[in-house]
Structure 1
Amino acid sequence: MRIGCPKEVKVHEYRVGLTPESVRELVSHGHEVWIESEAGKGIGAGDADYEAAGGHIADAATIFAQCDMVVKVKEPQPHERAMLRDGQLLYTYLHLAPDPQQTAELIASGVTAFAYETVTGPGGSLPLLRPMSQVAGRMAIQAGATALEKEHGGRGVLLGGVPGVMPGKVAVIGGGTVGFNAAQMAVGLGADTTILDRDPDVLERLGIHFESRARTRFSNTANLADSVCEADLVIGAVLVPGAAAPKLVTREMLGCMKPGAVLVDVAIDQGGCFETSHPTTHQDPTFVVNGIVHYCVANMPGAVARTSTYALNNVTLPHALRIADAFDQPGGWKDALRNDPHLAAGLNIHAGHVTYPAVADELGYDLLPLAEILA
């Protein structure tokens, strides 16, 4: 199989779909790998490193025109979508539910698109999303602490406080991977931390882990409003796999918050869990609504590109190998899905149709069932 990895072009996105080590692994399986020149610059990997691993350096147009599968990190940008073609495979983060334009253009292209964020693991876990959720959760506290500084429009609160001065209050909405990692960082800084979730099992697990270092609250409307109003920093860490995030913090709630308090919406990739959120970039990360600072960067892990890229490749490479190794076999890439239902859950678009139920429901498309594709 000929596999291509273009340079990421989203604003301030420094990650890369394949490391030189991943290229070496793919080449050792007999595959041909093409890398766009300087694609690895953001992680300290030069073209010579990729060539030493057995890769070939090419431009983006050649990669999109001639490679059987394109491996990326972020969703293809409009000019990249225009280069995708019928029958080509795309393997990357997509987050289609809140992005009708991207969905329509991928459908029109005829591409077969696998989304990292919907590939499953045992027990319904999301192993390809997990490492980036870990990074984003930890970064959320760093970003929130910076935004709280007066220079950046915040209240001027130090999360950990100092002797004789109370620490800042942090509310983490959602106790999954993002929320857990955010809470770990907040607790580590000495912040007064509350975690909200609707799952009693999650709350019990968090309570056992953090003991008295953080509080847990059931996330009903009253508790959510109370925690948000008291907080100096609110982390939105809600995830509905493959679907748009629910709007849990309303515009009305901002009225009870302290001026200069900060909202960090880690769910912004899926449309955001704050009513007043809209995507921002590392270049211009915050905006203010009703006196409340919003941080809504849609590719937070891109700021720590080397850590993020290697963590991502650890989990994406095995599935890339399964697809590539099956490609030239009689059953083709579909055999990889027949043999691995977890990978099959990653299929979102195929030959002009939506194949992931949550995306079809959210955007109003007819669903092409996986069983029909693999029949």
Structure 2
Amino acid sequence: MGIRHDRDRAERHATSAHNPASSQVTLHWRTDHLLGAPFQEAPLGPATLVRYPHPPDLPAPRAAVALHVHGYNDYFFQDHLARTFAAAGYAFYAVDLRAAGRSLRPGQIPHFVTDLREQATDIATAARAVRGLEPGLPLLVHAHSTGGLTASLWAHAHRNAAGADAGPDLLVLDSPFLDLHAPTWQRTVGTQFLDRVGRLASTRIISDNPSRYAEHLLAANGGRWEFDTTLKRPEGLPGRVGWFVAVRRGQARVARGLQIACPVLLARSDSSGPDSPDNPLLDAQDTVLDVEQMAALVPCLGEDVTELVVPGGVHDLTLSARGPREAYLDGMLHWAQGRLPDGAAPTHRPT
């Protein structure tokens, strides 16, 4: 017996009550306080929109507008991703979802929601905003991990919408969190139990494991990347009952089959392994999710789904070692070029 879920009611809810207002949002830009110039940020309701103003030495964006959506225990800090898209002819934006990254407010529990449609609203509002800022350009949504799950549900719910409220023109999923990487009992009986008691103990912590993956990425620990450790915690971020139930309900919806209308690229590493400092492939595997689960769910996303397998990639493929990272970026841009009218050449600056 799975999680009870009224599909029709939920999808009507996702496309009506949680839609942004029909009027264009007025944005008040300022220098991004995390990345600095030239990046800019602007409040967007409970979320925050970040943009990379197109460099004056490059031609005006001619391919599309890219909107990046982060995952759990994450926020936008990948400036090299912005420069990669810009060099390929894209206007680049990112959204820090409610209670995450730049959008975390005093008193909020980081990343805590009890319904993924709350975050889907942030994606919808960001999509509307960037379409208003970049009229006429197709929209490519690049979404990682839990952001990939939420973006998939949003794209499905908006498959019949038009104009500014439409789903993406292209959807790129970077290691999406489509299923739970856990023992069978947690994926079945444990999920059913938490779904029934979730309202009574929604903020109770049920997992609090260190993230060796995030710890290993940090430059101070010998990794390649600099990031704010209060917004992406190397020690990991506790998982709470309400968030877990929301994720499992979203994953159950994926398992029943989505009908995402646009072309989808699901990108993943070629293997998974333990998130342990003793794992010699800690820097060459997805140590957060099960890549075989992702592969199995490809047919559940829509009719036009392409799989990109990146040997040696880590959970966030954009943060992999140089070789796998370049392979991912090249492969992703090449795929997008073939799906966009008058697409830009799949090139990017070395990172």
Bigger Rg over Cα: 1
Structure with more helix by fraction: 1
TM-score normalized by the length of structure 1: 0.26
